[in-house]
Structure 1
Amino acid sequence: MASVNEPKLISGNANRPLSQAVARRMSMHRGMNVSLVDARVERFNDQEIFVEVYENIRGEDMFIIQSTSNPANDNLMELLVMADALRRSSAARITAVIPYFGYARQDRRTKSRTPISAKLVANLITQAGIDRVLTMDLHAAQIQGFFDIPVDNLYAAPIFGLDILHHFREHRQDLMMVSPDIGGVARARDLAQRLGVPLAVVDKRREKAGEVADMTVIGDVAGKTCIVVDDIADTAGTLCKAAEVLQEAGATEVHSYVTHGVLSDPAVARLENSVMKSLVITDSIQPTQKIKDCSRIRIVPTAPIFAQAILNTWSGTSVSSLIDQETLSPIYEGMYSAA
């Protein structure tokens, strides 16, 4: 049953520009002003987080927009404290909109005596009083099962599909989707099937975290415009090394599409010196000025899809319908023209 109240948004400090963009998009959809709830999310001198909501939210359907990106611990704690403030203020339902879900790479025990931090974070979110989670491109699909509350996992693939059709329409016959590792094959295959293009895989072997020892291309990429597809780019070491290996294997150009641009140092410097022509990321993480200034990096917006997903969640309609490019195309309002 649809709520009688309007959905209300509250934002942490992780990515306020995205929160404001979502509010603007929802205003367009609703034909009325949707603004962020008036609140302050601040820190005391000892860095304790304090939240105060200035509006009455009793019985309201609340959506907290907060990525748990760098600084991950601070932003996660902000999310939890905001949820507690809303729950104690008698909000009817609390949905955590987490465009980038931090700690997702720690989704299993890779060695003895190590944590499964993604499960711990899921427990913290649930215990804070959050009723459901809306996120994008979880690092591993099984993380949804770590929660005892509903989780809607949106995908960037349909957005990337629209973008690729627009920017590579003259090279569509030569396109090749590439997964930078075996674990990301399903993600790259999904995008390849959407576009009707072939798939290749770069098999990598790591000596230790953050360092790639060896890479081998599986598939014929000679004469192809290769597009590497991944969910997270941190130091960009894998992407830059994959671009070199693909070019050595005969690729004419290499581009990358990555959902979450963590881009820790020295990622931007690596990209600027790489053979990779371009990197496309979403704004799930607020980009730094250095990222914005990099000519090889382009940012595509996620506000349209998150705004629609919030409205669908609020009204009790399908969120999974947003995985279709045909559904997203009008949402992105002609931003991309399909070939």
Structure 2
Amino acid sequence: MTHNEIKIFAGSSGQTFARKMCRYMGVELGYSEALTFSDGNTFVRIGETVRDKDVYLVQSIGVKPNDEFVEILFWVDAFKRASANSVTVIMPYFSYAKGDKKDEPRVSIRARVCAESIELAGADRVVAMDLHSHQIQGFFKKPVDHLFALPVLCEAVKQMKLTDLVVVSPDAGFAKQARKFANNLNASIALGDKTRHNHKEEAEMMEIIGDVQGKTALIVDDFSLSGGTLIELAKWLKIKGATRIVACLSHLAFTEAAVRKLEESPIEFVIGTDSVDNPNLVHSSKIRLVSVAPLFGEAIGRIHRSESVSPLFEKVPLDVIPTCFE
């Protein structure tokens, strides 16, 4: 795949991911640099001309969300001031998507604030994966291409040849997506009943709805920070008679403490994507990473050729499917 006019650049948290994309697409990663001064200020500079080019900026908002978000704004502004024809922001993970509603008094709808800021900086389009809720696309006035990790993750699970599989959603909010996993994997489904009392990233598991006795339980969710819900659910699944417990997540945003808890948990391993540049993951023997960079590369190629992206929502080309874990 060759795209002569595509110019792909990467922010600080997107370097590794962008290189994988470029390898898949057969293009060179654009030269740029980002510096952080001693007072914490961020400085970005484009190292080559982008005049009249369609620019694609790769940057997840992940383990350092405030710095990574502000850096995106500076990059978009720099590309626009350098006369780029268009700027598309590629956000494999948008951590502020969690702030998608005003469900208590005197709080900010953080995802909307971020969306508006990115557009005001000059972004023409956004490509993201597994946003916390679909309505976040409506926070943007510009086009948003919302990709899904499900087809890639399901293929990875199939390669592991797990038997007697039951897909487990941690709560009712993810049940619809869990049903899609179950249908793809030809598995049954169960549901965790949890409650969350505050913003301390810990949830209390109340009950398991569904039969998990003697089965391999596959916990599915979009992301995890503290690992609290995953580990609490795993303990309940063990009590309910599950023989093996694994997890499958779109975004691995684990803290260092979460990785330590994961190592001591009943969970055998966690399958996740490389959407987050997370150094904490290297400390765990239980992490199985699959790359969605080819998926994003395929999407960008289609966008650039003015082709439909929607076929990627359900099924991806064979060369996009991972053949091994990283």
Hey, what does 1:31 align to over in structure 2? none
- The C-alpha deviation readout for 1:57-103, integer Å capped at 9, x for no partner, is 11101000000112111000111100000001111111000000121
Q: How does 1:142-161 map to 2 (within 5 A)?
A: 142-161=135-154
Larger deviation, residues 128-137 vs 45-54: 45-54
CA contact (8 A) 2:125 2:144 kept: yes
1:50 Cα deviation from its structure 2 partner = 1.5
Partner in structure 2 of residue 305 of structure 1: 295
Deviation for aligned residue 1:330:
3.3
- Give the aligned residue type for 2:266: V
Cα deviation, residue 284, structure 1: 0.5
Q: Which AA in structure 1 matches 2:261? A: R
The equivalent residue for 1:96 is 89
Question: 87, 111, 130: which is aligned to 1:118?
Answer: 111
In structure 1, the partner of 2:74 is 81
- Map of 2:25 onto structure 1: 26
> Whole-Å Cα distance in 1 between the matches of residues 195 and 44 of structure 2?
45
Mean CA deviation greater in 207-216 or 182-191: 207-216
Deviation at 1:47, TM superposition (A): 2.0
CA change 1:334–1:208 in 2 (3 A) is closer
1:172-251 map, 5 Å: 174-209=164-199, 210-251=201-242
SS where residue 70 of structure 1 aligns? coil
Amino acid at match of 1:297: I
* Structure 1 CA distance for aligned equivalents of residues 86 and 324 of structure 2: 33
- Aligned partner letter, 1:315: R
Q: Distance in 2 between matches of 1:202 and 1:74?
A: 35
CA deviation after TM superposition for structure 1 residue 272, in Å = 0.6
What code does the residue aligned with 1:104 have? A
TM-score by length of 1: 0.92
Amino acid at match of 1:331: V
Alpha carbons of structure 1 residues 278 and 124: separation in structure 2 relative to 1, 3 Å: same
> Which of 45-54 and 230-239 deviates more?
45-54
1:272 & 1:248 partners in 2: Cα distance?
Answer: 19
Identify the range of structure 1 (12-21 vs 82-91) with the bigger mean alpha-carbon deviation.
Answer: 12-21
5 Å matches for 1:324-335?
A: 324-325=314-315, 327-332=316-321, 334-335=323-324
5+ residue gaps, structure 1, are 28-33
Determine helix, strand or coil for the equivalent of 1:211: coil
Please state whether the residue corresponding to 1:57 is helix, strand or coil. Answer: coil
Counterparts of 1:331 and 1:71, CA distance in 2: 28
- Contact 1:240/1:276, CA 8 A, preserved across alignment: yes
CA–CA separation in structure 2 for the residues paired with 1:312 and 1:241: 41
Q: Paired residue for 2:50, among 57, 78, 94?
A: 57
Does 1:12 find its partner at 2:1?
Answer: no
TM-score (norm 2): 0.95
| Contact 2:215/2:242 (<8 A) preserved | yes
User: How far apart, CA to CA, are the structure 1 residues paired with 2:145 and 2:85?
Assistant: 19
> Which of 28, 32, 36 in structure 1 is aligned with 2:29?
36
The one-letter code of the counterpart of 2:144 is V
The letter for the 2-side match of 1:8 is K
Q: Secondary structure at 1:51's aligned position in 2?
A: strand
More moved, 45-54 vs 121-130: 45-54
**Structure 2 unaligned spans of 5+:** none
Give the 3-state SS of the residue equivalent to 2:175 in structure 1.
Answer: helix
Q: CA deviation at 1:322?
A: 1.1
- 1:266 corresponds in structure 2 to 257
Residue 15 of structure 1, CA deviation: 3.0
Amino acid paired to 2:180: D
Q: What residue is the counterpart of 1:278 in the other structure?
A: 269
Aligned length: 323
Q: Which residue of 1 aligns with 2:60?
A: 67
Q: Is the 8 A contact 2:155 2:321 kept in 1?
A: no
Structure 2 residue matching 1:266: 3-state secondary structure: helix
Report the Cα distance in structure 1 between the residues aligned to 2:47 and 2:86, rounded to whole angstroms: 18
CA distance in 1, matches of 2:56, 2:223: 25
Which segment drifts farther, 118-127 or 207-216? 207-216
Q: What letter is aligned with 1:216?
A: E
Corresponding residue SS for 1:104: helix
Secondary structure of 1:45's match?
Answer: coil
- Opposite residue 283 of structure 2, the aligned amino acid is D
